[in-house]
Amino acid sequence: MDDALYLTNLRDAKGAAVEILVREGRIAAKGKSVDAEGVSGIDGHGALVLPALVDSHLHLDKSLAGLPWYPHAAGPDRKSRIDTEKQMRDGLPLSVAARAGNLIERLVVHGTGHCRTHIDVDPELGLASLEGVLEARERYSHAITVQTVAFPQSGVLTCPGTLDVMEEALRAGADLLGGIDPAGIDGDVDGQLDAIFNLAEKHGVGIDIHLHDGGETGAAEVAAIVERTKVHGMQGRVAISHGFCLGDIAESAAAPLIEAMAGAGVANITHAPGGTSIPPVKQMHEAGVAVAAGNDGIRDSWCPYGDGDMLERAMLIGWRSNFRTDPDLELAHHFASRAGADLLGVANYGLDVGCRADFFTIPTETVAEAVVRHPPRSLVVHAGHIIARNGIYEGRA
């Protein structure tokens, strides 16, 4: 049958031998030996098979993927990075759609099947970047699912007209509303949070807010976000990206905030930041906070690092969190896989019979080794089709 895919000689996360039969984009059978009814098998050479990775926070519109190397030009502060990006973006020789597509191919070869991207919207840019990313999403819909966040990079209140463009973005197909440092960028915590929560409630969409503000300032913002989440009945639909403050403040001060986040269903998305505190992700997970992971900026004017690999990102999260045991490394992998799928609302995620056939194979013995070594993925399958092999993209461009 044309739509069938039969993979033999694989191992699951527990080390058990498995074969997988895929039909019509779903896992039709899985077990030590499955009846593939004459479909010729592909030898997995004993590789581990894992469900698709999930990148819950990146910026497809900002990446320089596919362009010659640009030496990092921005200064060390957030303002300089915003200004440098604005200076660069108009003169780039590749469109947003082309650069986003190039980056998607990098995500895909590393086994990422689902992602959430923030996209800059402001009165100067309008919806141009959103339109570019939506074009790339359509072109690569066979390879990855993409959730979009209308992101006010330059602030909401300090950049007049931005809120209107954010609403236009929702009408043009953006899935969620973003926000950014209500204190640090807008200098008005209530003003920005009221604006975005009211708009989100009006349109029935979730919120994912960048919170870089540290220490007590950031902690007060976390409390304010939790409070509004409850007032607007948005439990389970609000995420704080970064939340460095949760790693800055004393454990005794962080604990009640973490409890409050868990109680209000406010998620945290981390990328293992350099140069600042990382939230206590293991304690947060154990307290019941949904913790997911993302690459954030990948080779852009903000950050020269990254190649779109969520296993490498899981390693960085583990490294920064001092994870060493296999269960801890498996937790870092969980943030980059199932936790992200739950956050993004990916239906039928996993490797059970009936699940979407979005998975990859990797030549490692265990999940922990996959996080630590993250060698090239042998095979990547999305919606039942092989789209990458040994680190090379084979899907349609």
Q: How far is the CB of 276 from Zn ion (least distance, A)?
A: 13
CA gap 231, 194 in Å, rounded = 11
CA gap 368, 357 in Å, rounded = 23
What are the residues whose beta carbons fall under 8 Å from the beta carbon of 238, sequence distance 6 or more?
206, 207, 208, 209, 225, 229, 264, 265, 266, 267
CB-wise, 305 or 375, nearer to Zn ion?
Answer: 305
What are the residues whose beta carbons fall under 8 Å from the beta carbon of 271, sequence distance 6 or more?
57, 242, 293, 294, 295, 296, 313, 316, 317
Q: Which stretch binds Zn ion (CB under 5 A): 25-33, 251-259, 290-298, 387-395?
A: 290-298
- What are phi and psi for residue 375, nearest 5 degrees? -70, 170
138 to 167, contacts with Zn ion by CB under 5 A? none
Tokens at 132, concatenated:
């570019």
Q: How far is the CB of 76 from Zn ion (least distance, A)?
A: 17
Q: How far is the CB of 273 from Zn ion (least distance, A)?
A: 10
Q: Which stretch binds Zn ion (CB under 5 A): 154-162, 226-234, 294-302, 367-375?
A: 294-302
Q: Does 312 bind Zn ion (CB under 5 A)?
A: no
Q: How far is the CB of 38 from Zn ion (least distance, A)?
A: 48
* Binder of Zn ion out of 122, 213, 248, 296 (CB under 5 A): 296
Nearest-CA neighbor of 357 among 322, 391, 330, 381? 381
CB-wise, 296 or 358, nearer to Zn ion?
Answer: 296
Q: How far is the CB of 114 from Zn ion (least distance, A)?
A: 17
Q: Which stretch binds Zn ion (CB under 5 A): 19-27, 179-187, 288-296, 347-355?
A: 288-296
CB-wise, 119 or 357, nearer to Zn ion?
Answer: 119
Nearest-CA neighbor of 151 among 170, 171, 132? 170
**Secondary element (H or E) of residue 316:** helix 310-320
How would you classify residue 3: left for phi > 0, otherwise alpha for psi between -120 and 50, otherwise beta? alpha
Q: Which stretch binds Zn ion (CB under 5 A): 70-78, 156-164, 291-299, 337-345?
A: 291-299
Q: How far is the CB of 210 from Zn ion (least distance, A)?
A: 5
Q: How far is the CB of 195 from Zn ion (least distance, A)?
A: 19
Site residue total, Zn ion (CB under 5 A): 1
CB-wise, 51 or 206, nearer to Zn ion?
Answer: 206
* Strand order across the 266-270 sheet: 53-58, 112-120, 145-151, 176-180, 206-211, 238-242, 266-270, 291-293
Contact 139, 101 (CB under 8 A): yes
Q: Which stretch binds Zn ion (CB under 5 A): 26-34, 254-262, 293-301, 349-357?
A: 293-301
CA gap 222, 254 in Å, rounded = 10
Nearest-CA neighbor of 1 among 24, 18, 27? 24
Q: Which stretch binds Zn ion (CB under 5 A): 126-134, 292-300, 312-320, 356-364?
A: 292-300
Cβ-proximal residue to Zn ion, closest one: 296
Interacting residues toward Zn ion by CB under 5 A: 296
